Amino acid sequence: MKHEPAGILERLVVANEQFARELAVLLDRVRRIEDNERLPKEWYTLVDCARLKGVSESSLRERWRQPLGGHGRKQISGMWRWHRDVVVAWLLQDDEELLRTYGRQPREGVA
């Protein structure tokens, strides 16, 4: 009887890599489902964002504290809004991370 431990090991490694990829896809799907339940709307205004983060709207007047540092928003029905995916990521960021990422910027309309 001939044993090929290297062949068995290679098959196990390949199977584990495939399993890891499938698990990552599944975890991503679960995360998206959870995010969609938490944030059912597709687009969010600054007022919505303040409510979701549990802060006052006035605290988000400085653009660096807004989702994507105030960028990446779209005007929909006359109001500036951010997409759900952007808001989900932003909700996990604290002021320190936002400041480090976007820096202090002048408020909109202020020279």
Distances (CA, A) of 27 to 42, 105, 108: 21, 36, 38
Name the residue ranges covered by the structural domains of the chain. 1-38, 41-111
Q: Is the pLDDT of residue 97 over 80?
A: yes
CA–CA separation, 28 vs 48, rounded Å? 25
Task: Give residue 111's pLDDT band: very low, low, confident or very high (50, 70, 90).
Answer: very low
pLDDT at 24: 87
Buried b (16+ CB within 10 A) or exposed e, 28-62: eeeeeeebeeebeeebbbbebbbeebeeeeeebeb
Q: Is the pLDDT of residue 90 over 90?
A: yes
Rg (CA), the chain: 22
Q: What is the pLDDT of residues 32-58, one digit of tens each?
A: 667 667 788 999 999 999 999 999 999
The pTM of the full predicted model, rounded to 2 decimals, is 0.62
Largest CA distance in the chain: 82
pLDDT at 106: 56
The pLDDT mean for the chain works out to: 85
